[in-house]
Amino acid sequence: MDITTSPFRNIKENEEIEELYIPRKKTNKEIICESLRHIMLICISIVTFFPFIWMMTSSLKTKDEIFQFPPKLLPQVFNWSNFLEVFKEAPFEVYIGNSFFVATIIVAFQIIGSAMIAYALTQFNFKGRKILFAIIMGTYMLPSAATYVPCYMILSKINLIDTLTGIIISNLGNVFGIFLMRQAFLQINKSLIEAARIDGASHWKILWKIVFPLTKPTFITFGLISFVTYYNDYMYPSLITKSPEKFLISAGLRQFFIQGGAYGIKWPEIMAASTITVLPLLILFLVAQKWFMQGVGDTGVKE
């Protein structure tokens, strides 16, 4: 009987295949190390998230409960009226609307502009491409505070001081977005781009019909990071805007702390206002966390 066709050989091969799928039993040392790692991560998560939990619970307390000793995490009675008082004492709906409007417009322009520049840097062959990319990355090393005065002078000459348009125009470009998308575009198989060109697809169609679907997590990651940045931006918008109805949420929160909060006299209302400020970003991250993690993991079609 030929050994190559022997049924005993097939049984042996099946046993070897089954052994490959049987999980290896962990040693005691590995179990202890894994348990310690999980405990450490849980402790770090608690320490990181505890200030937010304390802020939310403090927004439902009275002033006496906030300063009582020993402190308690949960209030005796949940005072939801603190949130109503915040909107009565300050136009937080205006501040939040301004922040959402400015951040959304800026992110939209930055995504389109960064994608087009990154596509040109990765798909076009022209002289000085590397030098151009080096110059772009060199501007990323420039501190943002160094651009405040020149931007203010330019906006004052075109009468855009104390306007949301001035804030938007000043932030239409993003070097980090160009770098992030360029790195993602470099991972796309070039044969896909070449096949689309042979079929007669335009560069615009290739970018949004082929490149974008393959690098969607990177787009979402950059959009989320950029949105959070400009939603929370304080220094530059405070320099440009002076009217309270043009304030973004960070400037409005400071204004409430100074006037409505009277430098900490109304701490429950201040905590409620801070919760209102942070909560939309938390919800946004929870919705987009799947794509955010994929973008951080740098997905794409490998060559």
DSSP codes of every residue in 234-252: -HHHHHH--SGGG--HHHH
Do both 190 and 240 map to the same domain?
yes
Domain-embedded: residue 212: yes
C-alpha to C-alpha distances, 217 to 82, 222, 223, 289, nearest whole angstrom? 38, 9, 10, 10
Retrieve residue 82's tokens: 């603190």
Residues 139 and 280 in one domain: yes
Same domain membership, residue 154 and residue 38:
no
Q: Given this model, what pLDDT does residue 85 score?
A: 87
In-domain check, residue 198: yes
Query: What's the CATH number where 267 sits?
Result: 1.10.3720.10
For residue 3, the model assigns a pLDDT of: 47
Q: 73 and 171 share a domain?
A: no
Asked if 247 contacts 255 with a C-beta cutoff of 8 angstroms, the reply is yes
- What is the C-alpha to C-alpha distance for residues 130 and 103, in angstroms, rounded to an integer? 31
User: For helices 216-231 and 175-185, what crossing angle results, to 10°?
Assistant: 170
Same domain, 241 and 170: yes
Identify which of 245, 235, 120, 223 has the alpha carbon closest to the alpha carbon of residue 174.
Answer: 223
Clarify whether residues 196 and 255 are in a common domain: yes
Residues 248 and 229: beta-carbon distance below 8 Å:
no
Tell me the pLDDT tens digit for each residue of 221-242: 899 999 999 999 999 999 999 8
Nearest to 268 by CA among 81, 76, 47, 6: 81
The alpha carbon of residue 220 and the mean position of all alpha carbons in its chain are separated, in whole angstroms, by: 8
In a domain, 261, yes or no: yes
68 and 95 co-located in one domain = no
Number of other residues whose CB lies within 10 A of the CB of residue 281:
16
pLDDT number for residue 29: 78
| Cα distances (angstroms) measured from residue 52 to each of 39, 127, 140 | 21, 51, 32
Instruction: Give the length of the chain.
Output: 303
pLDDT digits (tens, 9 = 90+) for 277-293: 888 888 888 887 776 66
Residues of the chain with pLDDT under 70: 1-24, 260-264, 291-303
Long-range CB contacts (within 8 A, 24+) of 151-160: 151/236, 152/239, 152/240, 155/240
pLDDT at 236: 92
**Are both 57 and 156 inside the same structural domain?**
no
The residue range of the domain holding 43 is 32-78
What confidence score (pLDDT) does residue 297 get? 53
Instruction: Kindly state whether residues 157 and 261 are assigned to the same domain.
Output: yes
Same domain, 154 and 66: no
Q: What is the pLDDT of residue 117?
A: 93
Q: Quick one: 150 and 263 in the same domain? A: yes
* Number of domains forming the structure of the chain: 2
Regarding whether 276 and 226 lie in a shared domain, the answer is yes
Q: Decide which of 24, 55, 78 is a domain's last residue.
A: 78
Task: Tell me how far the alpha carbon of residue 291 is from its chain's centroid.
Answer: 11
